[in-house]
Amino acid sequence: MPAILLSLLSSVLYGVGDFWGALASRRAHILQVLPTILISGTLSVFALIPWLGATFSQDAIKYGVAGGFFGAAGFFIFYRALAIGPMGIASAIIAIVSTTIMYLVDVFKGTHVSSLGIVGAILAMASIALVSKSTEEATHPVTAKMVQTALFAGVIVAGFFMLLAYAPKNVGVATFACTRMTQLVLICSAAIIMRNKITRGPKPNPKMSIGAGVSDALAAVAFIFANHTGSLAFVAVISNTYPAVTLIVAHFVIHERVERHQYIGMAGAIASVALLTLA
């Protein structure tokens, strides 16, 4: 049960973070947005150390730095996909690709999956697709570039989360702290190198970027601790139902209309979590 609750918390926080991050990256260059996201996220992680602990062992640092490289690439490609196409469709592609990879890898590593668990996972994938499909996204049409970017982002995101999931479990938030520090160095370095190209655009909204950074960091922490008490196969599926949360937030914040099939998708997401809880 703790794994289920932490996975749900991760899903909610990722949904909120992705909404604010995507909005911020549509209004400014991605390298103007990411430093603020990463700084606020890094500070959030270090603020949790007194409560969650952090043992910076050799393995924690190794996994953390590797995760940082994957995470830096994932951040850039993820938000790029959400910025150049329909937010919901890009998010769904990334979620489905990353979830499928993590699910299959964990099963191949020996995690037992019941028939109920398989049904729940398939229902979750279908629900993500339904939730994310909107007829109101004509202003941001689906393009081959967006689909390719989202597919690539899904692969990178899967690698990032598998590094966090399979990292040592007795080090608190040390692995993720190293991950965030590595991401921060890489992204800020890129921003400095490309500063002449990114200073001409509109200024990013700092509140959106900070909201995205704090939400994303806390979501990752919840994901990590969910994996300490549950299997990656189920944690990945539940935490990646975040597009439903993004849709709900968009509905209440920017008054995006929820369509009938999206309601069905949200109901399916709830049912999939119930099935995975029983599996």
Contacts of 68 (CB under 8 A, 6+ apart): 178, 179, 180, 181, 182, 183, 185, 186
Phi, psi of 33 (to 5 degrees): -85, -45
- Residue 118, token pair as written in the block: 């398989």
99 membership: H or E segment, kind and range:
helix 87-108
For range 114-127, the mean pLDDT: 81
Over 60: is that where the pLDDT of 138 sits?
Answer: no
Task: Return the closest-CA partner of residue 261 out of 140, 126, 121.
Answer: 126
What percent of the chain has pLDDT above 90? Answer: 34
Residues 158-203 have pLDDT tens digits of: 999 999 999 998 999 999 999 999 999 998 898 888 777 666 666 7
Rounded to the nearest 10°, the torsion over CA 222, 103, 113, 269 is: 60
Give the integer Cα–Cα distance in Å for 73 and 67: 10
Whether the Cβ atoms of residue 155 and residue 79 lie closer than 8 Å to each other? no
Higher pLDDT among residues 139 and 165, named by residue: 165
- Residue 77, token pair as written in the block: 């490609």
Burial 63-100 (b: 16+ CB within 10 A, else e): bbbbbbbbbbbbbbbbbbbbbbbbbbbbbbbbbbbbbb
Give the integer Cα–Cα distance in Å for 192 and 184: 12
pTM score of the predicted model: 0.87
- Domain ranges for the chain, please list them: 2-278
Could you say which DSSP state residue 245 is in? H
Task: Return the closest-CA partner of residue 272 out of 130, 127, 101, 91.
Answer: 127
List Cα–Cα distances, 84 to 44, 154, 192, 237, in angstroms.
29, 16, 23, 26
Contacts of 117 (CB under 8 A, 6+ apart): 233, 234, 275, 276, 279
Residues 40-96 have pLDDT tens digits of: 999 999 999 999 999 999 999 999 999 999 988 887 787 778 677 776 677 778 888
Higher pLDDT among residues 277 and 167, named by residue: 167
